[in-house]
Homo-oligomer: A and B are copies of this chain.
Amino acid sequence: MNRITNLFNIKYPIVQAGMLWTSGWRLASAAANSGCLGLIGAASMYPDVLREHIQKCKKATDKPFGVNVPLLYPDIDVVMNIILEEGVKIVFVSAGNPKTWTPFLKERGITVVHVVASSKFAMKAQDAGVDAIVAEGFEAGGHNGREETTTLCLIPLVKKEIHVPLIAAGGIASGRSMLACMALGADGVQIGTRFAASEEASVHPNFKKKIIESNEGDTVLTLKKLVPVRIIKNAFYKKVQEAEDRGASREELNELLGRARAKHGMFEGDVEEGELEIGQVAAAVKQIQPVSEIVKEIIMEFHTAIKEVGNYGITE
């Protein structure tokens, strides 16, 4: 049996990543109805909006789903209370100390998963009592670890240090990459970018178009003097790069970034002046598809690749 399908009571060990401006109730319920764990991304929602998405998701699926909460969220207490009041049973937590909320949530019967980018933080999360860990590599979209450890390097290192179930994230968009991560020791995978290019994702059509048109080298991990973030190279990025090349200060970069730039790009559709957070694997995503079709393709390819493994023809 698989430890991730067991933990969440789902069909496939695939988590649809909670992504800001991207994963509302439509995406989360579509992922849940396709046999994955769907996640609502709380990061870009006011508390009332989050409540509305949870309520709509409950109506749209009878399958398990969860909420992703970055601990940097300003109204974190309010958000956690809404999660409890609405009876959400699974919470993914990222970007913060795992000790802050894990005991609180665990005592209330909630399954807690922490997102990390290093084995050091994976161990901290395990010590704090989480039920599973997402280890996310350098290739992932959005905010990212400072060590820049890639998924291929990260998963075996984390696996060696923890005993709770391990979910690989960053660079996974196909059945082959899912199998690769499981060969490395992951129990399941978290997929973001490919689901951001789904019909059900709530981002602007301009941004979806930009994702499927992007090629190798079109994303970059940048703003490392602030919080490293992987985005698509566009007019906004060119300004950042020019500033960084001449050694701009944190203050200047913060001013250049401004407010609501991710919303402006991802939700409002200004793909040149907005901040477009997406993973490196966007280069492999060439179509906007319904979630059900994406999951079907991934699982088919996963099983095709498994069948090939027996035929490598390498002696012991």
Interface residues of A (CB under 8 A from B): 1-2, 5, 11-13, 118-120, 137-139, 146-154, 156-157, 170-172, 174, 176-177, 179-185, 216-217, 220-221, 225, 244-248, 280-281, 283-284, 299-300, 302-303, 305-306, 308-310, 312-316
Contacts and interface: CB of A to CB of B under 8 A. Distances in A.
Q: Which among A13, A299, A313 has the greatest number of chain B C-beta atoms within 10 A?
A: A313
Given A118-B216, A216-B147, A315 B152 contact: no
Closest 3 CB pairs of A and B: A247-B247, A147-B217, A180-B180
A174 B300 CA distance: 27
Contacts of A247: 244-248
How many copies of this protein are present in the complex? 2
Contacts of A118: 216-217
Contact of A299 (B170, B185, B316): B316
A151 B150 contact: yes
A225 to B, nearest CB: 8
A280 B312 CA distance: 27
Given A176-B183, A184-B176, A216-B118, A171 B157 contact: no
Given A137-B150, A183-B305, A314 B5 contact: yes
Nearest to A172: B152
A157 B217 CA distance: 12
A177 B184 CA distance: 6
A210 to B, nearest CB: 17
Given A138-B150, A149-B280, A150-B152, 16 more contacts: A1-B313, A120-B216, A139-B152, A148-B221, A149-B217, A150-B150, A152-B170, A153-B280, A156-B176, A157-B284, A180-B181, A183-B305, A183-B309, A299-B316, A306-B309, A306-B310
Contact of A146 (B217, B284, B309): B217
A220 B148 contact: yes
B314 A13 contact: yes
A176 B186 CA distance: 11
19 contacts: A5-B314, A11-B315, A118-B216, A118-B217, A119-B216, A120-B216, A148-B280, A149-B217, A152-B171, A152-B177, A152-B180, A153-B171, A153-B216, A157-B216, A176-B185, A180-B180, A183-B308, A299-B316, A306-B312
Nearest to A310: B306
Contacts of A137: 150, 152
A222 to B, nearest CB: 11
Contacts of A306: 309-310, 312
A247 to B, nearest CB: 3
A12 B312 CA distance: 11
A299 B171 CA distance: 26
Q: Which among A12, A149, A153, A312 has the greatest number of chain B C-beta atoms within 10 A?
A: A153
Given A152-B137, A216-B120, A302 B314 contact: yes
Contact of A153 (B119, B283, B314): B283
A139 B153 contact: yes
